[in-house]
């Protein structure tokens, strides 16, 4: 019998559930490794070589190299884990969140200062809100 | 006998900790937020607890995908502030209360909540930011937090997370556990996280002021109804990370007006309520309730 996943019709959102977690296990564990300073240094020195030490899929590696967080999430990444890549790059959480919206950093910051994104039109896929664009990873090749 | 006298509810946004650590609390963008906690810092001094049981969630810090406990209680003597990738926050080491924590673990498990027991854990912003908001900036070397803290971690990162009802019932079990402890301890229980926010995808930046304030109303005055809000309502209306609000129901369920899942006693007194948008990506909510 199918599992109950009532959240699949929310636009612009990937819920990190047990299925996503299974897909993203090595991607997220790679991110965890960046909690250690020596690993951050090694990753920055040769990103591809460091990624190749992990049994991640090629697509996951490409998504990390592209710093495309939507793509990372589609392949099983979770934002709290992916945030370790952002920390390694010296990015704030706001910069990371904003990078997934298609907005410029300044436009996203101004939206937050002005009260954030409205839920109107953004509750369900097919409504007329501003978060309805599909999560189509811009660099995705497969 | 130990007793829960008050509950505190607050968001735990990491940028708030960073603003405090970098001395930015008086800057125009931050000042309104910190002004909302001035009352709380004084209240904390005037009503100093012997122990705080602090309900929070770990953000891929102590728990990776190696282990994902749904409910975990810290029974250690102390907890180091974690390095989350930007270096550890310059705040005092968190002292635990292993005797009361072990007692709570024993009692709550006997009440059918299968807790994970954690004897070694670094604590991230989920725990240290609420402490900083309620206690002010402290020197990591020369100052201490005002009392021992029992960390109580809830999985709200990987779905499914525990339901609001389960959290509310757990709060009741925690109250029974505290009240069966012989020493006279004044215990506060804090529920942290939220309010509306979404940190991922094209819908990132979602804030829902109306929903948040309706949730606060319900949490305070009709907590049984709040406990029955389904997950999907949080996610759809308060954002994918707004689900953290289920943790507030553990603290609310531990108040003395609640028994057997119903509100039968005298409602607690609302001492303070505050709401502010934004802190970074997040709506900040805060309330203090005292048992009558």
Domain ranges of chain A: 16-88, 92-129
What mean pLDDT value characterizes chain B? 97
Q: Do B85 and A84 touch (CB under 8 A)?
A: yes
Contacts of A28 in chain B (CB under 8 A): 60, 64-65
Which tens digits make up the pLDDT trace of B151-179?
Answer: 999 999 999 999 999 999 999 999 999 99
Structure token pair of residue A81: 């884990």
Asked if pLDDT for residue A140 goes beyond 90, the answer is no
To the nearest whole Å, the CA of A46 is away from the closest chain B CA by 19
Please give the Cα distance from B259 to B274 (Å, whole number).
27
Asked if pLDDT for residue B149 goes beyond 90, the answer is yes
Among A135-139, B100-104, B271-275, the range scoring the smallest mean pLDDT is: A135-139
Right CATH number for B3-290 from 3.40.605.10, 2.60.120.260, 3.40.50.970, 3.40.830.10?
3.40.830.10
Q: What is chain A's length?
A: 142
Band of the pLDDT at A137, cuts 50, 70, 90?
A: low
Q: Do A73 and B200 touch (CB under 8 A)?
A: yes
Which tens digits make up the pLDDT trace of B48-78?
Answer: 999 999 999 999 999 999 999 999 999 999 9
Query: What single string gives the DSSP state of each residue in B119-142?
Result: SS--B-HHHHHHHHHHH----TTT
Band of the pLDDT at A136, cuts 50, 70, 90?
A: low
Q: Does A111 touch chain B (CB under 8 A)?
A: yes
Band of the pLDDT at B85, cuts 50, 70, 90?
A: confident
Please give the Cα distance from B98 to B103 (Å, whole number).
8
CATH of domain A16-88: 1.10.700.10
Q: What's the mean pLDDT in B96-122? A: 98
Residues with Cβ within 8 Å of residue A114, at least 6 apart in sequence: none
pLDDT value, residue A138 = 55
Query: What single string gives the DSSP state of each residue in A31-87?
Result: HHHTTSHHHHHHHHH-HHHHHTTS---HHHHHHHHTT-HHHHHHTT--HHHHHHHHH
Q: What's the mean pLDDT in B255-279? A: 97
Nearest in space to B253 (alpha carbons), one of B150, B163, B133, B124: B163
Where do the domains of chain B lie?
A: 3-290
Which tens digits make up the pLDDT trace of A52-104?
Answer: 999 999 999 999 999 999 999 999 999 999 999 999 999 988 999 999 999 99
Q: What's the mean pLDDT in A24-35? A: 97
Q: Do B201 and A34 touch (CB under 8 A)?
A: no
B228 has catalytic annotation? no
pTM given for the model: 0.96
pLDDT value, residue A139 = 53
Tell me, what's the ipTM?
Answer: 0.94
Please give the Cα distance from B226 to B246 (Å, whole number).
9
Q: What's the mean pLDDT in B82-104? A: 94
Q: Does B23 touch chain A (CB under 8 A)?
A: no
Q: Does A39 touch chain B (CB under 8 A)?
A: no
Scanning every residue of chain A, which has its alpha carbon at the shortest distance from the alpha carbon of B161? Answer: A17
Nearest in space to B44 (alpha carbons), one of B109, B138, B113: B138
User: Do the Cβ atoms of B20 and B30 come closer than 8 Å?
Assistant: no
pLDDT value, residue A142 = 43
Q: Do B201 and A73 touch (CB under 8 A)?
A: yes
Band of the pLDDT at B84, cuts 50, 70, 90?
A: confident
């Amino acid at each position: 019998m199918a599992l109950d996943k009532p959240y699949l019709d929310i636009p612009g959102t990937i819920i990190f559930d047990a299925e996503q977690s299974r897909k993203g296990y090595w991607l997220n564990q790679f991110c965890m490794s960046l909690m250690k300073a020596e690993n951050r240094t090694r990753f920055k020195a040769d990103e591809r070589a460091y990624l190749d030490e992990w049994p991640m899929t090629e697509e996951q590696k490409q998504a990390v190299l592209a710093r495309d967080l939507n793509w990372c999430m589609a392949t099983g990444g979770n934002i709290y884990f992916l945030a370790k890549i952002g920390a390694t790059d010296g990015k704030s959480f706001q910069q990371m969140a904003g990078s997934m919206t298609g907005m410029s950093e300044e436009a996203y910051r101004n939206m937050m200062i002005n009260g954030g994104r409205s839920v109107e039109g953004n509750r369900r896929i097919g409504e007329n809100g501003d978060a309805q664009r599909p999560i189509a990873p811009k660099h995705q090749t497969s | 006998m130990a007793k829960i006298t008050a509950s505190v509810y607050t968001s735990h946004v990491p940028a708030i900790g960073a603003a405090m650590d970098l001395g930015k609390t008086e800057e125009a963008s931050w000042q309104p937020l910190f002004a909302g906690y001035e009352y709380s810092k004084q209240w904390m001094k005037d009503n100093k607890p012997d122990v705080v049981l602090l309900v929070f969630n770990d953000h891929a810090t102590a728990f990776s995908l190696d282990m994902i406990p749904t409910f975990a209680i810290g029974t250690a003597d102390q907890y180091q502030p974690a390095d989350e990738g930007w270096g550890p926050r310059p705040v005092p080491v968190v002292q635990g209360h292993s005797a009361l924590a072990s007692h709570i673990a024993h009692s709550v498990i006997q009440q059918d909540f299968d807790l994970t027991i954690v004897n070694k854990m670094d604590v991230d912003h989920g725990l240290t930011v609420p402490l900083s908001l309620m206690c002010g900036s402290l020197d990591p070397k020369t100052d201490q937090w005002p009392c021992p803290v029992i960390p109580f971690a809830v999985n709200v990162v990987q779905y499914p997370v525990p339901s609001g009802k389960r959290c509310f019932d757990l709060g009741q079990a925690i109250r029974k556990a505290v009240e069966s402890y012989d020493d006279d301890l004044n215990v506060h229980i804090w529920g942290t996280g939220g309010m509306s926010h979404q940190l991922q995808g094209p819908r990132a930046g979602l804030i829902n002021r109306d929903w948040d304030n309706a949730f606060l109303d319900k949490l305070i005055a009709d907590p049984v109804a709040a406990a029955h809000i389904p997950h999907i309502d949080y996610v759809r209306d308060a954002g994918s990370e707004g689900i953290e609000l289920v943790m507030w129901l553990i603290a609310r369920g531990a108040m003395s007006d609640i028994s057997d899942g119903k509100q039968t006693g005298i409602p607690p007194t609302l001492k303070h309520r505050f709401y502010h948008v934004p802190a970074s990506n997040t709506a900040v909510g805060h309330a203090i309730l005292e048992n009558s």
